[in-house]
Amino acid sequence: MEKKEQLYEGKAKKVFATEGPHYVIVSYKDDATAGDGAKRGTIRGKGAINNRMSNFLMARLEKAGVPTHFVEELNDRETVVKKVRIVPLEVIVRNVSAGHFASRYGVEEGIVFDEPVLEFSYKNDELHDPLLNTSHALALKLATREEIDTIKAMALKVNEELKAFFLGCGVRLIDFKLEFGRLDDGAIVLADEISPDTCRFWDAKTGEKLDKDRFRRDLGNVEEAYQEMMRRVFGA
């Protein structure tokens, strides 16, 4: 598929048109940001790792019955995906207390929840992605009730599948962010990416952080953590 003009550039990816109206090409960058862009840097090789890992996991989820935007991996950094209209709801699934959950509610990190915590935030950089509930989402007309029910069910299914997979890699899936999109016919599919940028991964034995928190918190060995996750995923 031929790459045409650039349509969009975000913090971690560029999106290009193709010769067809229903597909775009996503190109992953090594750029890294944290704190709504307040902290910026580069993680060498991140783009290739996130592209390949996300595609691998999306393909697994498709086989498990979760519809995704994934079509074809072109090379280490570029992938063809279905063109979607992103639903402006970021979905956060939490299995263990960490990050904003711990700081927001004044609890320590590492508390294992009895059942997954599902959060929504309004995807809006200017407002710093505020938390919202189903009533807010309906009032703002971000999604219909049916779409929200579908998104919730799909997010929990993704959690179930990925938790089991990563545990087999010796990694605990602490929490993660998902985005969903609408196809031309209105169908909801999983979009964006699944990677160390969007997930918290802790080593199952040592608790070592193997994700973007190493960049956010200046923990060092950032590139090594991404490489280790790549090794575990493709070695599993």
Query: What is the full per-residue pLDDT of the chain (236 aa) written as tens digits?
Result: 899 999 999 989 999 999 999 999 999 999 998 876 678 899 999 999 999 999 999 999 999 999 999 999 999 999 999 999 999 999 999 999 999 999 999 999 999 999 999 999 999 988 999 999 999 999 999 999 999 999 999 999 999 999 999 999 999 999 999 999 999 999 999 999 999 999 999 999 999 999 999 999 999 999 999 999 999 999 85
Q: Compute the distance between CA of residue 209 and CA of residue 207 in angstroms, rounded to an integer.
A: 6
| Amino acid of residue 76 | D
Q: Where are the alpha helices (DSSP H) in the chain?
A: 46-63, 99-105, 134-139, 145-168, 213-216, 222-235
Reported pTM: 0.95
Q: Compute the distance between CA of residue 148 and CA of residue 125 in angstroms, rounded to an integer.
A: 21
- Domains of the chain with CATH codes: 6-82 (3.30.200.20), 85-235 (3.30.470.20)
Reference 79, options 195, 176, 227, 226; nearest CA is 195
Q: Which two tokens stand for residue 190?
A: 């999983």
